[in-house]
Amino acid sequence: MLPVTEQENPNTAHIDQVSTLDALRLINNEDKLVAEAVEKVLPDVAAAIDEIVNRLQNGGRLFYVGTGTSGRLGVLDASEIPPTYGVSYDLVQGIIAGGYDALYKATEASEDNKLQGIEDLKARGVNRNDAVVGIAASGRTPYTIGAVEYARSIGCFTACIVCNPESAITKAVDIAIVPVVGPEAITGSTRMKAGTAQKLVLNMISTAAMIRLGYVKGNRMTNMKAANEKLKDRSLRILIAETGLEESVAEELMIEAGGDLRVALVMNAKQADAATALKSLEQNDWVVEKAVVKHN
């Protein structure tokens, strides 16, 4: 029997014969099923996050591994974590079959090489302290299966995000996250519902992990890097919201902190200078709350 992601969808069997608006309605109706499918696997997502956070708190890293759309989504999620949460680019990494060229052009044949998945992990120095998440819509991709099998064999925590139940990759990992979204609107086009489900789960994994690590206060990104004007404005708004300072005072504090929101928050909380705040942050994993307590 065909995997559910490869089956034909009777709801969209005539999508080529309807108006543009009706075609969009058919696609949208299918998309509505995605969040429900993800909701059903939230306990598995939470369990995976707790294991990932444990690894990250003890010197490990998080790796996403995948091919095609799945690989691109992993690289995308990984690339957005450092500027959003102020962490090292090494902490969360995306590995895609075919290398970074595969981000903008199809290299789909590379997904059939099981050994290459292993070699690409080795090239990043993956070790038993790390967590590895395989992303594969079908769950039968040799490259990704090879990667997670190897990772698990050396003691890494492993998980997968896959949209076919009982697929091969689910048997190769510690925790399988399986949002079953059903057949695609266009048969086999897993960049659609399956890709959307994977993106939702990746958002949850990285966001909740950063929250657990202490890089969010309330629902504010207190560790974000102000790399452009938009983010500088956002940093200033966060500083004002967290401290209650007048805008002019907050602006001056940000200047004294070298434009670093984390430093500014610690400076304000403990009435410390920038050097003292920076040292406390360095000694406390760049977690603002811990740095404030330590400075006491």
pLDDT per residue as tens digits for the range 31-54: 999 999 999 999 999 999 999 999
Indicate whether 209 and 289 sit together in one domain: no
Same domain, 137 and 233: no
Q: Give percent of the chain with pLDDT exceeding 90.
A: 85
Terminal alpha carbon distance of the chain = 63
The set of catalytic residues is 80, 111
Residue 71 or 99, more confident: 71
Domain housing 58: 4-213
Number of structural domains the chain divides into: 2
Q: Are residues 47 and 95 in the same domain?
A: yes
Q: What's the chain's average pLDDT?
A: 93
Given this model, what pLDDT does residue 108 score? 61
> For residue 204, what pLDDT band results from cuts at 50, 70 and 90?
very high
Lowest mean pLDDT among 40-49, 102-111, 265-274: 102-111
Kindly state whether residues 196 and 57 are assigned to the same domain: yes
pLDDT of the residue at 295: 45
Residue 223 lies in a domain: no
Write out pLDDT tens, residues 163-194.
999 899 999 999 999 999 999 999 999 999 99
Region 243-266: mean pLDDT is 94
Q: Is the pLDDT of residue 109 over 70?
A: no
Average pLDDT over residues 54-61: 97
